[in-house]
Amino acid sequence: LRLIYTTTAVQRKNVGASGPEKYTEAFIKKQIEEFNLGKRHLANMMGEDPETFTQEDIDRAIAYLFPSGLFDKQARPMMKHPTEIFPEQRKIQWGEDGRPFHFLFYTGKQSYYALMHETYEKLLNVQKYQDQLTAQDLPPQKEKRNLAGSRWLTKIELEEMLLEKLSDDDYSRFIQLLQKLMTLPCGDIEEEYIQKFSRVVPVQLQKVVIEPLKYDERGVAFSTGEGTRKTARATAVVYDNGTGKITVNGIDVLHYFPVLQDREQLLFPFQFLDRVGKHDMVCTVSGGGRSAQAGAIRLASAKALRSFVTEKEVEFMRQAGLLTVDPRVKERKKPGQEGARRKFTWKKR
Amino acid sequence: DDKLLSEPLSHPDFFNVKELFTLKDLFDARVHLGHKKGCRHRFMEPYIFGCRLDQDIIDLDQTMQHLQLALNFTAHVAYRKGIILFISRKRQFCHLVESTARECGEYAHTRYWQGGLLTNAHIQFGSGVRLPDLLIFLSSLNNVFQPHVAIRDAAKMNIPTVGVVDTNCNPCLISYPIPGNDDSPTAMELYCKLFRMTIIRAKDKRRQSEVFDELR
């Protein structure tokens, strides 16, 4: 017998090196039972019926009993079903006699390779079907599928589906195989299978609605528009059958904008559409400075003029930049610098 | 239970694998065709019948003997409920090999071989994993025409191997080599069919023997 003298530091196991915790089935079951019991206790505490106590009620009760001012919602106390808290994990892959359940277990990435195997099988089926059709001299069906409205699963979504880590290479190979399957002429048979791996993309483009002309008591057509530039906000009402008179905040334009440059900005939309002397305008503007207010009114009047004009001219206005909101605002000053971009004077020593 | 396991070992061909194939079947499936003379491996010379227009022809009599031994061995392993792993790194036959393995109820590995699969299994899979008891190589080279890593690893882990060796392969570390063609689809389908039939036969026999034992 040889006594080996070890210190306590050596005897203590390095807990961190064991890897992520494995949650056994028994453990998760116990957690679920404790959760259900706790739910009933909570319902009794709040004076509500334990049978009809939903997750929202639980959230409200916990927020009431344990108020927390923490910023991160996930750091606050929460009581959720154990399946939402403990991430899904793979159970033991082999039976009592030691034989693994899955036939591709020894590859390491069994679900991914099983997926590739299945997809390849579908491909072979489609090719066989195609051969059968050509043998019977029937033309292959060509139905154009809408490719624009859908996207393939992302790598993270696929990892969640397979419960396995993937590499970028694996993922790209799988997507290439799916694309190949889809582009074959008789791919309609496997439509269902392909749809499992595609998601619908919501239509993002919203067509801008041009408002119709409104008529006031005198019978004159008019339309309104709003515009912003830096901190200035403006609303403009453009009347038809006019003489080119412009009023800003109740004051004539010559008095409100003494500088020629601002008046040129106001005139630009009308000059672009060759309607210089044909419209009257009444606008209200607040905020910003001289130039910002002029820019805001220009945008507002351009938007208002859309109702008077054909779609082609609206497209011309858009391309000229009359309908785009100018995103430039004052950049903030940063610490350690004198201004937004200007640094302090650099001294060599 | 002891009698169940020791009875098959007393017969030379308990599972009657000889009737599964004939020389004509092997010839029709083009098993005798090897690679060109320049690709010939030195250790394959005893198995080669001759050379015709620079192409090596494999001796089918020797192939018959080796194939019988190999099929008999796989049948015994399957009878004793061993884990069989089919390996092939040929991309054309990957799907075929995987389907064969699935139909037998055994396992397949036709993808990229991660280095520590056999030698580092307890860390890669988890402790308590059971390693395969037999590896069947349907093509013993990998995609760069070098001997598959699993041959060496199986030798390290004392796992017996059965392998189809072509004229450019090294039959050294394989316990039951089968000299034959591994490139033609007909040859591969023949091998898959033979292995599938032997394994299914062996498993059925095992189930029958267990049922008879229980009845007694």
The pLDDT tens digits of the residues spanning A80-116 come to 999 888 877 777 788 888 899 999 999 989 999 999 9
What local confidence, expressed as pLDDT, does residue A287 receive?
Answer: 92
In DSSP terms, B215 is beta-bridged to: none
Name the band, by pLDDT with cuts 50, 70 and 90, for residue A26: confident
Closest alpha carbon within chain B to A112: B111
What local confidence, expressed as pLDDT, does residue B128 receive?
Answer: 82
Look at A203 and A13; give whichever has higher pLDDT.
A203
| Contact assessment for residue B84 and residue B106, using Cβ atoms and an 8 Å cutoff | yes
Instruction: Sort A90 into a burial class: Cβ within 10 Å, 0-12 / 13-18 / 19+.
Output: exposed
Mark out chain B residues that contact chain A at CB-CB < 8 A: 81, 83, 85, 95, 98, 101-102, 105-109, 111, 114, 117, 124-126, 128-130, 132
Q: What is the mean pLDDT of chain B?
A: 93
What local confidence, expressed as pLDDT, does residue A8 receive?
Answer: 57
pLDDT reading at A14 higher than 60:
no
Q: What is the DSSP string of B43-92?
A: GGGGGEEEEETTEEEE-HHHHHHHHHHHHHHHHHHHHTT--EEEEE--GG
Domains of chain A: 25-85 (no CATH), 105-139+148-200 (no CATH), 214-320 (3.30.230.10)
Q: What percent of chain B has pLDDT over 90?
A: 89
Name the band, by pLDDT with cuts 50, 70 and 90, for residue A187: low
Look at B124 and A10; give whichever has higher pLDDT.
B124
The pTM (predicted TM-score) of the whole model is 0.71
Which of A93, A103, A120 comes nearest B101 by C-beta?
A: A103
Beta-strand relationship, B84-88 and B107-109: parallel
B98/A117 touch (CB, cutoff 8 Å), yes or no = yes
| Contact assessment for residue B79 and residue B202, using Cβ atoms and an 8 Å cutoff | yes
Q: In what order do the strands lie in the sheet with A221-229?
A: A214-215, A221-229, A232-239, A280-286, A246-248, A251-252
Domains of chain B: 60-113+130-215 (3.40.50.10490)
Q: For residues B143 and B153, give the distance between their C-alpha atoms in angstroms, rounded to a whole number.
A: 18
Q: How distant, in Å, are the alpha carbons of A19, B71, B86, B103 from that of B196? A: 40, 10, 11, 8
| Contact assessment for residue B40 and residue B167, using Cβ atoms and an 8 Å cutoff | yes
ipTM of predicted assembly, 2 dp = 0.93
Q: For residues A335 and A343, give the distance between their C-alpha atoms in angstroms, rounded to a whole number.
A: 10
Mean pLDDT of all residues in A131-159: 80
A103/B106 touch (CB, cutoff 8 Å), yes or no = yes
Whether residue A99 lies within 8 A of chain B, CB to CB, comes out as: yes
What local confidence, expressed as pLDDT, does residue A9 receive?
Answer: 55
Angle at A325 between CA A319 and CA A329, to 5 degrees: 135
The pLDDT tens digits of the residues spanning B49-77 come to 999 999 999 999 999 999 999 999 999 99
Beta-strand relationship, B55-58 and B33-36: antiparallel
Mutate to test the interface with A, among B77, B80, B81, B83 (most CBs of A within 10 A): B83
Angle at B111 between CA B105 and CA B115, to 5 degrees: 105
What local confidence, expressed as pLDDT, does residue A190 receive?
Answer: 81
CB atoms within 10 A of CB A197: 18
Mean pLDDT of all residues in B117-145: 91
The pLDDT tens digits of the residues spanning A206-259 come to 677 777 888 888 888 889 999 999 999 999 999 988 888 899 999 999 999 999
